[in-house]
Structure 1
């Protein structure tokens, strides 16, 4: 347990303060300030659909409160001022002429046609509630499936709705079944739990923390982290570590920026990843390069694998 209110400095010379179990890093600028004619508000953003990160953003609004632009927050230790196009394009999404702002209703006989009429929020809630209750009365609560994607803020509410409605059918579906669930299942089967690569995201002073050791090598297999920032992992952290001496082995059929800057680029033919993995295992096992104590304590089926 960290002592409350203890001040200190990290390796970058930034003042820190221990608050309970947490380290507070004061920002040079307040959470809201003026920059010329624009008001800048600091925040975090999960840009939908599909983002799992929550990068630090600076929201620029004009005198009328209109969002003018979004930039990365350089004082945020997570993304250090860098953003992907999702956050950068938030103003365009916010004010897009085709964005839905109100509940819309369409007659079932016009399914597939662009024949929508605007209704009030009260009408929309009543319509949904009446439809749900009608289905429950005719077919039973189990006839309704309550589903969500991954990394959303709906989980706490949709589960309560599902249980209170009386349905046992709460599921993750759509993109979750295509990418997230297989990935998590693979992690659980091989490593016992969910994991992400260690790029010092657990420290407020990140790479300067004396307890952090830069990895010697990172294998990137079938993924391009500079574009695919999944499950709380920001891809540019890989570049941060490369600048600090970490080498990369890139396993990808394509030539990319990362593969061009990697120590080794293994251009497997599509569909041959399993053959490459078995080749790795053949060398690791036959040249006795594995941790015997770990295998004995934490694995089963090793003899069959060998």
Structure 2
């Protein structure tokens, strides 16, 4: 019996052949939770376990997405070799062939139609290093002004509002660690419980400590459930709601006159304007009871400390910049910024939504948050890159406007980096039509996404487990993603792909990096003296200190936990308040007899962005395997919509088919559809093309639709 047991245990030991541990961080939301993936080889299969790792931001927490992220990285549908479209099918080719084709096709397009005929579409999920050299690639290797990225559809309204108001855009003006100690919190258009689950304990702790939480959202969500007061606003009416609260704050003398006098401009003009408004009219416009507007304002103004957070619900509108600015008016009027337990937070969506917008992917921007139209900024970056200032292109256009230029025939070729605009952009049918008009489309991705299907050439990228580099999380903390897993097949890191293409185009001298740290050290110099100054941050410091908060101008600087302590970033040191008027034409698209309902969109906890990665995870896909329409039972009965049945959702631009889901947690004039699915479930096919005039954000959150049974 003993011999049999020994043989059994020896066999089991042999079966467990090896164990590998990969240090990494979640590839999804802006919390960028640190974690480890444990890979065990057992006989002919591998077993994976994900564990959270302690860090200053998420403190070892991970959510359901992070726990299962590895499933897309090891998925059998990963692209492992360059793929060329031949007679409608993708066939494997070598890297040498792929690069030669890119050289020939890009050169031919520019020879015929000029440098501006090529474009680059980037991503807020790539590393800082890759975002930096992608911007450099567009302007130095291609010499085109046409570069923008999918972050334009995410953070642009908040970023623009913060820059206009404060002179600086950093996701959070204060550290996350202060949230539990503040006394009042406004959560405007943010469903953090599903979008950034590991941030929730900060707010739950604040509530335990007695903080009063106000949520602004047309729907009841897992986030609004923690609120003491839920302002269930009509879609698109956030700016008007802020005017109502401002009016109460000023009339009840709950403003910080000393702060305003010393550190702000524009208050008197704003006060005069809101004095002319009727709270009764605002109640009618917003759908929020007057007593709730008054209660929210009184609570926010009367507490000594407070914080305000915004996200896509407020920002993804054609007046998103104005709406955020009006909410910031409240922060300035009450003096709740630049001091302990106070501040503003734009809850960044994508993993590197903060860093990716700081270093040159935006159409009008150079590294360090410099302006591409500023002559001094151009001269400095040109000197870092070793080119003439006059060689740098001027500003291009926003992400969606690039597709308009493709449709008009001005842009003929595109390099698409780790993004899926067919699903993420408004009016998806238009985007598809535009892509078909391109002479040459190169897509860099992990999978053949809905957009990559339109590519002439697909290049295999690396996943979060394989691609080392820095990311900047929602609080402005620059962190290092370690990545030691080998790329599958012939897949390459995004930064290597960019450098290889640059070399093929004869620009090797500008892209002769051997590792991500080389790129980061150049980025440090490029950002030096800019608004987003990373100069004092190094890989060594990040590893030692578990991340460094920017701005960090010197190696001796400890990093900046709270911005605006003594002054704002405008030349006069003051924040700028501004009048935001209550327009009767906002939102532009209102319900009509033909399209009687508001449509708003959003996310679910198990999926991320367009679902290219999360829909490849069996565990996540099983939780939400199809899209749905959330509709109030009273509304459903009015339009003969049964619960859990297929329905058509129709706007002026198209229609989708999804399954109905009755819910008393949504306004009766509003329906909700998440945006993680493609084809006949792609809700962005219903969204209009009109853009915010300040930041070029589409109006994802407000469309007019009708709903009918299938």
How does the TM-score come out when normalised to structure 2? 0.33
CA distance in 1, matches of 2:180, 2:69: 36
2:25 paired residue among 22, 45, 51? 45
What is aligned with 2:62? Answer: 83
SS at match of 2:56: coil
SS at match of 1:255: coil
For the pair 1:185 / 2:160, whether they are aligned, the reply is: yes
Contact 2:207–2:213 (8 Å) recurs in 1: yes
Query: Could you tell me how far 1:185 is from its partner in structure 2?
Result: 0.6
Note closer, same or farther for the CA distance 1:42–1:277 as it changes in structure 2 (3 Å cut): same
Contact 2:180–2:207 (8 Å) recurs in 1: no
SS at match of 2:112: helix
For the pair 1:118 / 2:92, whether they are aligned, the reply is: yes
* Aligned length, in residue pairs: 252
Note closer, same or farther for the CA distance 1:58–1:128 as it changes in structure 2 (3 Å cut): same
Note closer, same or farther for the CA distance 1:41–1:121 as it changes in structure 2 (3 Å cut): same
1:56-67 → structure 2 map (5 Å cutoff): 56-63=34-41, 66=46
Query: Could you tell me how far 1:281 is from its partner in structure 2?
Result: 0.7
For the pair 1:286 / 2:251, whether they are aligned, the reply is: yes
1:269 paired residue among 216, 234, 239? 234
CA distance in 1, matches of 2:69, 2:204: 25
2:103 paired residue among 116, 122, 129? 129
CA distance in 1, matches of 2:26, 2:115: 33
CA distance in 1, matches of 2:20, 2:144: 46
Note closer, same or farther for the CA distance 1:259–1:54 as it changes in structure 2 (3 Å cut): closer
Contact 1:146–1:169 (8 Å) recurs in 2: no
What is aligned with 2:137? Answer: 161
Note closer, same or farther for the CA distance 1:234–1:86 as it changes in structure 2 (3 Å cut): same
Contact 1:252–1:265 (8 Å) recurs in 2: yes
Query: Could you tell me how far 1:300 is from its partner in structure 2?
Result: 3.2
What is aligned with 1:149? Answer: 123
Query: Could you tell me how far 1:195 is from its partner in structure 2?
Result: 3.8
What is aligned with 2:466? Answer: none
For the pair 1:218 / 2:185, whether they are aligned, the reply is: yes
Note closer, same or farther for the CA distance 1:272–1:141 as it changes in structure 2 (3 Å cut): closer
For the pair 1:71 / 2:51, whether they are aligned, the reply is: yes
Note closer, same or farther for the CA distance 1:272–1:37 as it changes in structure 2 (3 Å cut): farther
Contact 2:185–2:213 (8 Å) recurs in 1: yes
How does the TM-score come out when normalised to structure 1? 0.71
Query: Could you tell me how far 1:134 is from its partner in structure 2?
Result: 1.8
What is aligned with 2:222? Answer: 257
CA distance in 2, matches of 1:96, 1:226: 28
What is aligned with 2:195? Answer: 228
CA deviations 1:203-239 (Å, max 9, x no partner) are xxx57xxxx9711111101111122239xx9444323
What is aligned with 1:97? Answer: 76
CA distance in 1, matches of 2:160, 2:173: 20
CA RMSD of superposed structures (Å): 3.0
CA distance in 1, matches of 2:102, 2:200: 40
Contact 1:145–1:171 (8 Å) recurs in 2: yes
Note closer, same or farther for the CA distance 1:77–1:165 as it changes in structure 2 (3 Å cut): closer
Note closer, same or farther for the CA distance 1:222–1:213 as it changes in structure 2 (3 Å cut): closer
Note closer, same or farther for the CA distance 1:163–1:268 as it changes in structure 2 (3 Å cut): closer
Contact 2:213–2:227 (8 Å) recurs in 1: yes
Q: Which runs of 5+ in 1 are unaligned?
A: 1-35
CA distance in 1, matches of 2:229, 2:22: 40
CA distance in 2, matches of 1:152, 1:180: 15
- Which of 128-137 and 192-201 deviates more? 192-201
Q: Which runs of 5+ in 2 are unaligned?
A: 1-15, 272-710
CA distance in 1, matches of 2:37, 2:187: 33
Query: Could you tell me how far 1:67 is from its partner in structure 2?
Result: 6.3
Higher relative contact order, structure no. (Cα contacts within 8 Å, ≥ 6 residues apart): 2
Contact 1:38–1:60 (8 Å) recurs in 2: no
What is aligned with 1:7? Answer: none
Note closer, same or farther for the CA distance 1:213–1:234 as it changes in structure 2 (3 Å cut): closer
Query: Could you tell me how far 1:170 is from its partner in structure 2?
Result: 4.8
SS at match of 1:63: strand
Contact 2:24–2:37 (8 Å) recurs in 1: no
CA deviations 1:169-197 (Å, max 9, x no partner) are 15323x32222112211222233322444
What is aligned with 2:151? Answer: 176
CA distance in 1, matches of 2:236, 2:121: 32
SS at match of 2:240: helix
CA distance in 2, matches of 1:86, 1:192: 35
CA distance in 1, matches of 2:257, 2:144: 44
1:192-203 → structure 2 map (5 Å cutoff): 192-197=167-172, 200-201=175-176
